[in-house]
Structure 1
Amino acid sequence: MQTVKKESYLIFLCYVLSFLLLFLDINSKVVFLHTSSRFLADPVQSRLFKIKSFVLSPFGALALGDKEKLGKLELKIAELNSLVVSFKTIEEENVKMRKLLGADVPSNWQFAPARVVWANGDSVSVYADINTKKETPVVATSDLTKGGVLVGRVEESFGRNHKVLLPSAPNIKISVTVRGTNGDKQSLLPGNKHASGIIEGKGGKIMLGQVLAADPIGEGDLVVTSGDSGFPPDLLIGYVKNITTNTNLASKEAEVAPAVNVTDLDYVFFVTKY
């Protein structure tokens, strides 16, 4: 019974002290207690913060180091990817160059590779690491022939970007010879010559004209450069189709199907010497 009374007194005393402290705090009578507690707590808090910083700093430094290493690794990967692309480009150029050098063209000819940027109508834009002059012949390789294929000639240059006019461009005229295939479309032997003529660009179309009516030409015959008109000889331009005979002028005309589609080309070559 006495124990219960003591507990009741203690509870009552706690309530009284609580209300007293609350009253004193409201009236700013216990500021010294706050100051004293801060005086004791601040050093402890500061010490704990230092311990925390000491413990975590190695991990932070490690994380920062890993982040820097990761950034350097990503940069290195980007550089390697760029090199891979460059090597692939060089490899493609070498394949095309080897094929062209192995074609039926004179060994003293010299070439410079150029990458096709875009083709538009009767012209194609190419990029090359050299400067070249106007009217430089541009050729390509093709599985359809053992020799080089005429793409066109340089019309104008802007730094290392060059505009190349195709044989179908208006006002382009090229002296040509027509040769029979003897069943072999890859043959460019001079002995197969059937006729001479001039091809002229008509804007999207190549027309063969000034062929004597007596000269035998047929569908599928090869049309190649004669070596005049500022172009090297024996470059394939295309194939004869749609032959018409003008009886009044005693001549023949025909359309020429291009040997290559420039939109399918990735690389072409400037003929820098021939």
Structure 2
Amino acid sequence: MTERDGQPPRTDTQGYAWAEAELQRTGQVDYGNWVPAALMGTLLVASGILLLVLSLLLIMWANQAVLAVVGVLCLLALALTGYLELCRRRFAFDGGRLMGAMHQLVVDNLDWDGRGELLDIGCGAGALTIRCAKTFPGGRFTGIDRWNPKWSHAREQCEHNARAENVDDRVAFVDGDAARLDAPDGAFDAAVSNFVFHEVRSEPDKRALVREALRVVRPGGAFSFQDMFGHRRLYGDMEAFVQELRDGGVTQIEYIPRTESVAGAPAWIRTPWMLKGAGIIHGRK
């Protein structure tokens, strides 16, 4: 740990990715994956059924047009399954570690001294919350989420992960809606969020979600939010939005586009249907 400008030390995270991967590999933590296991199971079953139907049609000498349709569907299902499995392996904390790299970008762009309380909005399985707790050993951390079984995340899972990482004495997880945070104005010294705002169904205006996240940060507090900010259908002109936030009183704010490239995502993942248009807005309120 090093001392910077009289601030509390920030833990060196270079070795954390390896330790995180080892804990995931051995089953001591479960941080999930952006390609959920349930989705992969569904695709495997669908592919298996299509293969079985195709085999039966071949045995029965079915109509050539029917065979062609089923054959194409089978190939598409197998191709999609294979592609998503490659993505899943690249994202995995104990594989290609791309999820961890994206989380680290959020932390690296958080200009916080580690004093006080941090809120992680949409914490999922708790990976980013815990990464922040490991990075800033002097702070306290709250992760909120509306845990959804389709993502294979749960509050109990977050709490288990925090215990495994030995930060459970400084971390809490609560149920909450990113559109209406249950906290007064300026309640937190820092806030982070990672690929959450575009998934919130209770608020179609994604800019409103950013403003709500900033509302609970105290004046002078730090923030680092990563989302699909490059998608104009979600956020419009980001440079204009950033200027609006400045005009609204945010003292320091910067937009970093194409963070999927910064994190090292390969070209076959940097696609419109997977991970293209990511970005970070960060600064001090």
Task: Please give the range of the TM-score, normalised by the shorter of the 2 chains.
Answer: under 0.3
- Is the helix fraction higher in 1 or 2? 2
Tell me which structure has the larger Cα radius of gyration. 1
TM-score by length of 2: 0.24
TM-score by length of 1: 0.25
